[in-house]
Structures are given as structure tokens and as C-alpha cells.
Amino acid sequence: MIARAFGLPALRFNGLIGILVVGLLLLVAVFGPWLAPYDPLKLDLMARLQGPSAAHLLGADEFGRDLLSRLIHGARTSAWIAFATVVFAIVFGTVVGVLAGFLRGWTDRILMMVNDALLAFPGLLLALGFMAVFGASRNGIIVALGIAYMPVAVRVVRGTVLSIREREFVEASRVIGNSGIVTMLRHVLPNCLAPIMVLATTMFGWVVLSESALSFLGLGVPPPAPSWGNMLSTGRPYINQAPHIIILPGLCISITLLGVNLLGDAVRDWLDPKMQD
């Protein structure tokens, strides 16, 4: 009702769930230091592998560190890395895609040759290669995953630009004497925003999963800093004694991916008139 009052399509139930999950993740990421009951690095060997209790609501890990606090700070880590990586991939991918699609010719051939070479490798495998160069750190993960997912953004933006550059308003911009840069910035780029927004939302979930995979393999956020991936990795030897220390990070990853995918579907439906009732 509220959405239609402002001329917006009504959100479906799935979209509301996605907004709720992603909103909760961002809330935890921003206010994590104030929400966590303990320092995520504080050791309490007396509580080692302890299950949920009054002192530790979700239990403690193999070093007695509070799991709730580590999950909260892990959400902060995952959200920051995912946001920075998506910005990196979308910004550079959009620049390359607009240039390739609008200028065509040798510019398009050279840029797409490099882009196709990057696309030939699976994203996670390409990120692993770059991590070997940049080292295991937050900035290294952001650059490695940003380069790995940038070719997808290039392809999406270029395809959109190729369909837009032949339209009448672009030709009219050329006829009245606007330069290529003005035409790209004023007429082409704004019409690419819808697919870019959908891709950015979906890519956020990809990056959360990839960052967790890299951390699980020991190439992501280095311990003892908490991330959902390295919590899964360090908890594997204790899965029989204390299954909660590996189940909880896995649930956080799964719920986040579900929420992001639902939000991505909602954004797509909202921006595509054909999907509206």
C-alpha cells in the first residue's frame, strides 16, 4: 500500500525477507563493536568448547572466545569486504564496459580480448592466483576478488551500451554537437544503471561466499581476526565435540546468501516493468 501510494511497485514477500536479512547484516556491520558482548579476541580457557549458556549465549570456541561476538565481528568483516569489492568491480567494470561498447573498433577488440582472457578462468580460481601475489589480507582480498569479478561487470555493461548507442536520443546528442564523453556520461551511462544495480546486488552475495571460501582455505582474513570462513576452518577438528562452532558460521553464510539473492530478485522486479503486476 505504501509503495503504491508513492508510485512504486509493491514488494513481494521474498523481497521483504531479503531487505530484512541484508538490513540486519548491515546493521550488525555498522554497530558491531557496540553489539558484541565481548572482545572477539579475548581468551577464556575455562569456557573452551562450551555450549550456549548465560555467560556465552551461543557458546565459545576452541580458545574460549565468545562465539556471538566473533560472529558479529565476522559479519562486519564480510560486509566490508563485499561492499568494497563490489564497488571496485562495478566502477572499473562500468568504465571499461562503457568505453568498449560506445567506442567500438580497436578499443573494443583490445579491451574485450583482455576481458575474455580473465573470463576464461573461474572467479575463485582467478582470485586464488591474485591472492598468491597480494598476500592474505583484507586489502589483498578486495583487490583479488574485485579483479576476478570485474569481467562480469564489463560484459553486462558493454551489452547494455551496445543496445543503447543505436537509439535515437544518442544519435540526437551527436547531431547537436555533443562530444563522445558528454554523450557517454549524460545519455548512455544513466541508462545502464538498472542492470548495474541488479548485478551489484547479486555480486554482493558472490563475494561473501568467495571471501568465506578463501578464508576457509587460509588465504583470506588471517586468524585470529574473526571471519565466517576462518571460523569454519578452525572449527573443523572439533565438529564432534562442539558442532555449534562450525554450524553457526555456516548458517550465517547461508542466511546471508539467501537474503542477498532474494533482494537481488526484488531489485530486478522493481526495475523491470515487465515483471511488475
Which residues pair with residue 60 across a beta bridge? 66
State mean pLDDT over 107-131. Answer: 86
63-67, 157-161, 223-227, 243-247: the lowest-pLDDT one: 223-227
pLDDT score recorded for residue 26 = 87
CA terminus-to-terminus distance, the chain: 14
For 190-231, what is each residue's pLDDT tens digit? 888 888 888 998 899 889 998 888 888 888 888 788 888 888
- Amino acid, res. 197: M
Peptide bond into 224 cis (omega under 30): yes
pLDDT score recorded for residue 107 = 84
Rounded to whole angstroms, the Cα distance separating 218 from 234 reads: 10
pLDDT score recorded for residue 93 = 92
pLDDT score recorded for residue 272 = 64
pLDDT score recorded for residue 10 = 53
**pLDDT at residue 4 greater than cutoff 50:** no
State mean pLDDT over 165-169. Answer: 75
pLDDT score recorded for residue 41 = 86
The pLDDT confidence band at residue 54, using thresholds 50, 70 and 90, is confident
pLDDT score recorded for residue 1 = 42
The pLDDT confidence band at residue 137, using thresholds 50, 70 and 90, is confident
pLDDT score recorded for residue 53 = 85
pLDDT score recorded for residue 11 = 58
Strand, helix or coil at 56?
A: coil
**pLDDT at residue 88 greater than cutoff 90:** yes
**pLDDT at residue 60 greater than cutoff 90:** no
Q: Which CATH class is domain 80-275?
A: mainly alpha
**pLDDT at residue 8 greater than cutoff 60:** no
Averaged pLDDT of the chain:
83
Angle between helices 138-164 and 105-119 (to 10 degrees): 140
Radius of gyration, alpha carbons of the chain: 22
Domains in the chain: boundaries: 80-275
36-40, 120-124, 161-165, 273-277: the lowest-pLDDT one: 273-277
Please, how many CA atoms are within 13 Å of residue 67, restricted to the half-sphere of its CB? 29
> How many CB atoms neighbour CB 204 within 10 A?
24
